[in-house]
Amino acid sequence: MSTIRLTYTSYVVLGLVELAGPSTPYDMKRGVEASIGNFWSFPHTQLYTEPERLAEAGYLTEEREEGGRRRKVYSLTDSGRQALDAWRSDPTGELAELRDPAVLKLFFGAERGPLGRAQLAAHRRKLAEYEELRDAIASTAPPGPLIALECGIEHERMLIRYWSRLAAEA
Amino acid sequence: MSTIRLTYTSYVVLGLVELAGPSTPYDMKRGVEASIGNFWSFPHTQLYTEPERLAEAGYLTEEREEGGRRRKVYSLTDSGRQALDAWRSDPTGELAELRDPAVLKLFFGAERGPLGRAQLAAHRRKLAEYEELRDAIASTAPPGPLIALECGIEHERMLIRYWSRLAAEA
DNA sequence: ACCGTCATGTAATCGGTTACATGATTCT
DNA sequence: AGAATCATGTAACCGATTACATGACGGT
């Protein structure tokens, strides 16, 4: 049993398994897209390697399905739940970075007009998608995902205002 | 002369050298902090390895200072300027992700109260810092950095509203 | 002369991404 | 039955981070 550094990806995996119960990597993949994947994405291959890492370190157990494809099924251990709890209950003051590719271009002198229009279109689409998603899950989802989705919605609205203003000035 | 994939870090380096002229890694480091580093950060060691990569691929030239520490000084080549231009003038529809550690915790069930208060404090500090910075450079800085800074300010304001609301509900 | 801090850099490690590959399933 | 798409996974590579290390310089 090795010792590893828990990354954000680790917590996403632990959190997903807590939410959904014992999961295969593919279960996780489906759990990620259209939820947490909207604002914290990574390639699906991470969902094969990361649970393995976590299992080696004792945060998950790894079993094989009986019959069929005999896929790997991961479950939370006590140690895993503890790690998740410790992380979750530490009220971090760490801040998100903008890390917006379009703002990066802007910083280095990109033309506002075309960039603004492209961004506006994309952000409007994303906002619509979020609002639809919220309406679809509002009555059934746990509060965490819902409230996070609200943040995503505010984020999109802010950026739509921002790029609108820029595109208008240009 | 090798072929490399240009990452965001590459464009940051190319952009910095364009803005500031021939630079040593340490010049770049100073250029990064308090400007682009606020919303697209990375460890300073990247500023030693990345220019080297870029020089090998022909986007920068590498010279040695005469005397003193004989530090490496990097300058843009035509090829580097072209790559920067091509990137900058492509109006990307690629979207920023939230990728906010605090929202991640929220998603997986963190308590709103303590987390909200910690985030509020941190975001208020950051906002004040941005506003001060803006006032300090408003008259001298090129438009790109200023307009990007405006985005950072709006971002902070949005998150202050968001966490205020959450902390109040909790 | 010493100490602390800033300046400057090297090297190793590793998480994350990219590329690829093969079974299942569904559709026509 | 063939094609297309979804499901499931492996392996290699590499950019990014972490750890460490030494030189310069200002203050006491």
The distance in angstroms from the start CA to the end CA of chain A is: 59
* Proximity of residue A9 CB to strand D below 7 A: no
Q: What is the pLDDT of residues B29-70, one digit of tens each?
A: 999 987 899 989 999 999 999 999 999 999 999 988 766 667
Confidence at A11, pLDDT banded by 50, 70, 90: very high
Quote the pLDDT of residue A67.
60
From first CA to last CA, the distance across chain B in angstroms is 59
Of all nucleotides in the shown strands, which has a C1' nearest the CA of A71? D8
Would the CB atoms of A102 and B84 count as touching at under 8 Å? no
**What residues pair up with B74 in beta bridges, in sequence order?**
B23, B62
A167 near A112, Cβ under 8 Å?
A: yes
Can you give the pLDDT at residue B65?
Answer: 72
B78-136 pLDDT per residue, tens = 999 999 999 999 999 999 999 999 999 999 999 999 999 999 999 999 999 999 999 99
B147 chain-A contacts, CB cut-off 8 A: 106-107, 112, 166
pLDDT at A34: 78
Residue in this structure with the two tokens 């200023």, named with its chain if needed: B146
What confidence score (pLDDT) does residue A33 get? 85
Residue B8 banded pLDDT, cuts 50, 70, 90: very high
pTM (predicted TM-score): 0.94
The reported pLDDT for the residue numbered B98 is: 94
Give, to the nearest 10 degrees, the angle between helix B46-56 and helix B25-32: 120
- Nucleic strand D under 7 Å from the C-beta of A87: no
Give the mean pLDDT of A57-67.
84
Share of chain A above pLDDT 90, in %: 86
- Residue A111's CB is within 10 A of a number of other CB atoms, namely 13
Task: Give, for B72, the enclosing helix (H) or strand (E).
Answer: strand B72-76
Instruction: Look at A88 and B105 and tell me if their CB atoms are within 8 Å.
Output: yes
A7 touches strand C (CB under 7 A): yes
Question: Residue A131: which of A120, A116, A146 has the closest Cα?
Answer: A146
Evaluate if residue A7 carries a pLDDT over 70: yes
In angstroms, the Cα distances linking A94 to A87, A126, B36, B118, B153 are: 13, 26, 18, 9, 17
Q: Which of B14, B17, B104 to mutate to test the interface with A (most CBs of A within 10 A)?
A: B104
Tens digit of each residue's pLDDT (9 = 90 or more) over A132-158: 999 999 999 999 999 999 999 999 999
* Strand D contact at CB of residue A48, distance < 7 A: yes
